[in-house]
């Protein structure tokens, strides 16, 4: 009798797995299968099993290869940075618009909004669907000279710039710095060996990519978020039913505290003296400069690429003005 009951329990436990839908996912983490991001997506996959989806993860250290394999049909889904997923969904791919989310509280509000069922139609575009968004941390400017702490001082400096990130190229040209074409596999090496003066990355890169070597004794990290970097899980639209896709986004949103705990730890691990603090009086000027550039990159003005989705920029503006209603942009005639 006892043996029969145990067998029933085991069969019951196995039933969801036996009927689970298998979905392969190419996962980018610059560290590979030992990276924090890859491990977080393993947790995401574990949660998804309870919802009938068995994610088969495949690690990649080269984001371009992960995207290429996804495009070639080697994987049903891909986990990559918002910059790379922008061609699949310009709306979610505009989350990382330059200077658009200055605080993590604003980011939390945004991701909570996007995880709601009423946002589901915006998660689909071009035959693809976003299955979840995880924060990686704000992107900061790493410099080899602490005196490079204003936009004006970037003029003439060499900046490692991802050669597929059109908005970053536009910003580098705007501040009259020099674009040094790079990709995610070599930008850190260029900064560390002095081939470039500056690079931008989330705080995790300080240790993981050894950017402290490029900072040296005279450099630092400018303490102002250039953009919020996220990793987004994207699948072809027919891979998951709508109900499961919505559940996947809710699972990712449920991991926000876990992801932000990781980000907070990475930022706290950087020695305080390595941060370059921006005077409060300069912050408003930076915010307006970034806003004007976002408008250009929304509308394709002044030679800017048209890369930002108007609806996302409008949503980000509402969130910023809800948290800081006295900001001058909130009454501007050309508000996003």
Overall pTM > 0.85 = yes
pLDDT attached to residue 152? 85
pLDDT tens-digit readout, 134-170: 999 999 999 999 998 888 889 999 999 998 999 999 9
Integer Cα distance of 282 and 32 in angstroms: 38
Q: By three-state DSSP, how is residue 23 classified?
A: strand
CB 140 within 8 A of CB 202: yes
Q: With bands split at pLDDT 50, 70 and 90, how would you rate the model's confidence at 12?
A: very low
Residue 53: which residues within 8 A CB-CB, separation 6 or more? Answer: 20, 21, 23, 240, 244, 248
CB 217 within 8 A of CB 59: no
The pair of three-digit structure tokens given for residue 238, joined into one six-digit string: 């027919």
Q: Is the pLDDT of residue 115 over 50?
A: yes
E-only strand ranges, 157-248: 158-162, 178-182, 198-201, 220-236
Determine the length of the chain.
Answer: 336
Q: How far is CA 316 from the centre of its chain?
A: 15
Q: Is the pLDDT of residue 36 over 90?
A: yes
pLDDT attached to residue 279? 86
Task: Give residue for tokens 């980018």.
Answer: 28
């Amino acid at each position: 009798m006892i043996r029969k009951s145990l067998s029933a329990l085991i069969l019951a436990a196995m039933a969801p797995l036996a009927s689970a839908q298998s979905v392969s996912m190419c996962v980018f983490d610059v560290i590979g299968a030992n990276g924090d991001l890859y491990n977080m997506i393993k947790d995401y996959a574990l949660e998804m099993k309870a919802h009938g989806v068995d994610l088969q993860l495949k690690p990649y250290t080269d984001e371009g290869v992960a995207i290429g394999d996804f495009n070639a049909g080697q994987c049903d889904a891909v986990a990559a940075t918002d910059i790379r997923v922008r061609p699949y969904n310009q709306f979610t791919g505009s989350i990382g618009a330059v200077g658009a989310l200055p605080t993590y509280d604003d980011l939390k509000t945004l991701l909570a909004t996007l995880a709601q069922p009423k946002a589901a139609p915006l998660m689909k575009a071009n035959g693809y669907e976003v299955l979840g968004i995880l924060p990686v941390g704000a992107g900061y400017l790493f410099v080899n000279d602490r005196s490079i702490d204003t936009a004006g001082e970037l003029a003439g400096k060499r900046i490692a710039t991802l050669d597929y990130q059109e908005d970053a190229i536009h910003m580098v040209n705007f501040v009259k710095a020099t674009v040094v074409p790079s990709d995610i596999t070599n930008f850190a090496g260029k900064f560390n060996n002095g081939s470039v003066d500056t690079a931008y990355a989330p705080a995790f890169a300080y240790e993981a990519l050894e950017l402290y070597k490029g900072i040296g004794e005279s450099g630092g990290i400018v303490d102002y978020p250039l953009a919020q970097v996220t990793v987004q899980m994207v699948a072809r639209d027919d891979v998951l039913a709508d109900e499961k896709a919505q559940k996947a986004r809710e699972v990712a949103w449920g991991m926000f505290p876990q992801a932000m705990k990781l980000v907070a730890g990475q930022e706290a691990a950087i020695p305080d003296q390595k941060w370059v603090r921006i005077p409060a009086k300069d912050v408003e000027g930076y915010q307006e400069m970034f806003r004007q550039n976002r408008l250009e990159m929304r509308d394709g003005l002044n030679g800017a690429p048209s890369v930002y989705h108007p609806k996302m920029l409008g949503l980000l503006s509402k969130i910023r003005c809800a948290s800081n209603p006295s900001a001058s942009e909130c009454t501007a005639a050309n508000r996003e």
